[in-house]
Chains A and B, each alone.
Chain A
């Protein structure tokens, strides 16, 4: 493995995780749309919202990860993609804004009518966003993005049959994954009626997504023949087969109500498609630009790899914690009051006598800070100065506030 290719692997992994995790989130919006307004659709819409609310922000960061690693490790490719495909990217951006805003707004809705409106915006943007991002992927795969600043046509580059088809596939896949994930959730929390409804949706969506994939191959055959031949040869072919098997396997698992396994096979299907795309396209990143040519200088690549591996050491345990709490039902809503008992008995905040001492320390820090930051010239003095001033804020706060609070007894 060459150094220049390693960040690309990270990008692809990020893309898979985004497609699966955020895909489930987008798909939840799709089902909200189909559930319809009013009391009738409310249970599914509520359920879909609550299942995603604690995790959507974390899922969304995978996109940021993909963007930042791409512009760091393959800057020229990023510039070319973003400038030529500015229209679908911008649409996706607006979709993300509207989705996020509705997540925030739903917390304040008081009536079903208000919820209806918020959910409608949410659902529409949940369909628009994956579609737009899908066309971006499709345009890259169909070699519609030349290198350079907006060198490709900003409309026809992504409105060909292949990009549009991939956009549709992205929506269909999101809906499928979401139905599987939500059915698994309903199963876990013992909401049998919902589970049955979602299971039916998952089966239907699976069939539709499968049909769309076949239709996609036919479109690619006609519209981007080079992609078709490369997808159906060598490693790419193996990946496509794995994906098809995993997709069909997911269907069987859902039919058999083995939801937990179905989650993973659905994810595998997505991962395999993305791997197949990458294999079909290598060594090219864009038309006339190989991965090697696009790569950033050596030092940057090394540091990106180190940063991602180091970040991963913190990230994955944290993510595992989040998902364990969510899947273990620890962050669910509803009953189970458990008003936390106070840990410590009534204690003095801070002995009031220490307030005077703290105040004097704060004063000393302020004077030190002024002397070393403002009067002195040397860099090291400034370092001491800024620390002293920040210390002044913290110590001053603890000198003042507890007394203040005691006074408001």
Chain B
């Protein structure tokens, strides 16, 4: 690849990052929201209590709007596989493509049953309607399984050999599913989906509660807060354990990434962990050092040797401060959210009620954006931490990038369009939150899709 390709590399990476950062939060709602809506509908079927039905229907409208935006941002990502990284796809499409081809079918199911579910309220029998929602939950699961399988393969490639720049001996199933990276990454992302959705939805009601200033919340508001908040609170402590599991896999398969996460310049026995601080001149400055913790966490042995950044040349190292900062942000927020979850669970188990302190609700209101930041930071850790490789130790990102110029134009256009879409989404969410559900659906609100 010549220098010309390099010229577009940074722009292409920025554009890719923008597109992901928009898609991934929406995807969290695709993963977790259908299950929450269905749970409400199930409560309605069990109890016949209209309140649950109303809640499920209001959430359905939000789900439908966010799903539509998830679909279009995902489409842009699919286009970008060719528009930005034609050489990546041209070389390895035969290896990883199967994952996306299967994923296509889960998108089909998701889209088909979303159509039936959203437009079937009032039209199908209650039971049939409930069941029409189940495939959406399953498709959210298989859809993320397939995409993560591809990403796990990029981080931990296998199932092929390279001969003269061509992939030969290709075994897609092995490449995608016999990969030790897949299961930790998938679990981590899946739980992140529930945390992001749960905290964001709960946060909206927590803000309402705080604004209400002492007015006792209605039963509707309490139910709408309790369901997402409980899910997120249970998921948060688990996420810390799963994150640790992911980290141990990274230590094993991508030692240089681990060294970048921790700012470890030299290979060290009994390596310490640094909290906060800034990496400069092969050292973490102003950080809080905890001796031997890194070795203990990564290898379960306080005296284990941890590989340092100096084991590879400078041009094979990722941008250390970006990765390190993103990682610390994720872990910091993750720990805080886990504590918030434990607070809730403790009060719940000990006193049999929700916490009463307004500080708890202020924290819940912040937890939604916090989880979102952790999510993006986690992906920055994974993706930027893998640099300069697009397929770890096989293909450089600079070899993958398109040879076509003018990415700046596309990037600007996409950024503007996404800005417009973002304004539109905020607008519609506010509208949907305010407008009352009428029975039967008035035509204008019913066409939420």
Chain A interface residues toward B at CB < 8 A: 46, 49-50, 53-58, 60-61, 63-65, 67-69, 71-76, 78-84, 86-87, 89-90, 92-94, 96-101, 103-110, 149-151, 154, 296-297, 299-300, 303-304, 307-308, 311, 314-315, 318-319, 321-322, 325, 330-331, 333-347, 349, 359, 366, 369-370, 373-375, 377, 379, 382-383, 385-386, 389-390, 392-393, 396-397, 400-401, 403-405, 407-409
Contact = CB atoms under 8 A, between A and B. Distances in A.
Contact of A97 (B127, B402, B421, B446): B421
The binding surface of chain B is classed by DSSP as: helix
B249 to A, nearest CB: 9
Contact of B98 (A108, A307, A325): A307
Contact of B448 (A76, A82, A98, A104): A104
A322 B46 contact: no
A102 B403 CA distance: 33
Considering residues B43, B119, B300, B440, which has the most beta carbons from chain A within 10 angstroms of its beta carbon?
A: B119
B25 to A, nearest CB: 15
A238 B178 CA distance: 48
Name the 5 nearest CB pairs between A and B, nearest first: A82-B82, A72-B97, A79-B90, A75-B93, A342-B48
18 contacts: A57-B449, A71-B97, A81-B82, A82-B82, A83-B86, A97-B76, A101-B425, A104-B66, A108-B428, A108-B445, A315-B109, A322-B116, A333-B446, A344-B48, A373-B242, A392-B234, A400-B230, A400-B348
Considering residues A92, A335, A390, which has the most beta carbons from chain B within 10 angstroms of its beta carbon?
A: A390
Contacts of B219: 408-409
B45 A75 contact: no
A338 B168 contact: no
B215 interface: no
A293 B107 CA distance: 30
B61 interface: yes
Nearest to A76: B90
Contact of A50 (B91, B108, B447): B447
Given A53-B447, A314-B109, A340 B125 contact: yes
Contact of A75 (B44, B90, B227): B90
Contacts of B124: 330
B402 A150 contact: yes
A21 B226 CA distance: 42
Nearest to B188: A386
Considering residues A331, A341, A369, which has the most beta carbons from chain B within 10 angstroms of its beta carbon?
A: A331
Given A108-B65, A386-B187, 4 more contacts: A53-B447, A58-B115, A93-B75, A308-B101
Contacts of A407: 352-353
A94 B72 CA distance: 9
Interface string B72-95: 111110110111001101111111
Interface of B: 5, 43-49, 61, 64-69, 71-76, 78-79, 81-83, 86-87, 89-95, 97-98, 100-105, 107-109, 111-116, 118-120, 122-127, 129, 135, 167-173, 180, 183-184, 187, 191, 194, 219, 222-223, 226-227, 230-231, 234-235, 237-238, 241-242, 244-245, 300, 345, 348-349, 352-354, 402-406, 410, 413-414, 417-418, 420-421, 424-425, 427-428, 431-432, 435, 439-441, 443-449
Given A65-B104, A103-B449, A311-B104, A304 B79 contact: no
A373 B238 CA distance: 11
A72 to B, nearest CB: 3
B76 A379 contact: no
A151 to B, nearest CB: 8
B424 A104 contact: yes
A297 B93 CA distance: 10
A62 B203 CA distance: 37
Contacts of A99: 72
Contact of A393 (B78, B101, B234): B234
B126 A340 contact: yes
Contact of B83 (A90, A101, A341): A90
A83 B404 contact: yes
Considering residues A79, A311, A385, which has the most beta carbons from chain B within 10 angstroms of its beta carbon?
A: A79
A325 B173 CA distance: 36
A97 B77 CA distance: 11
B417 A97 contact: yes
Contacts of A149: 5, 86-87, 90, 402-403
A104 B410 CA distance: 24
Contact of A93 (B76, B118, B230, B449): B76
A299 B172 contact: yes
Contacts of A338: 122-123, 440
Nearest to B300: A377
A296 B126 contact: no
A369 B238 CA distance: 9
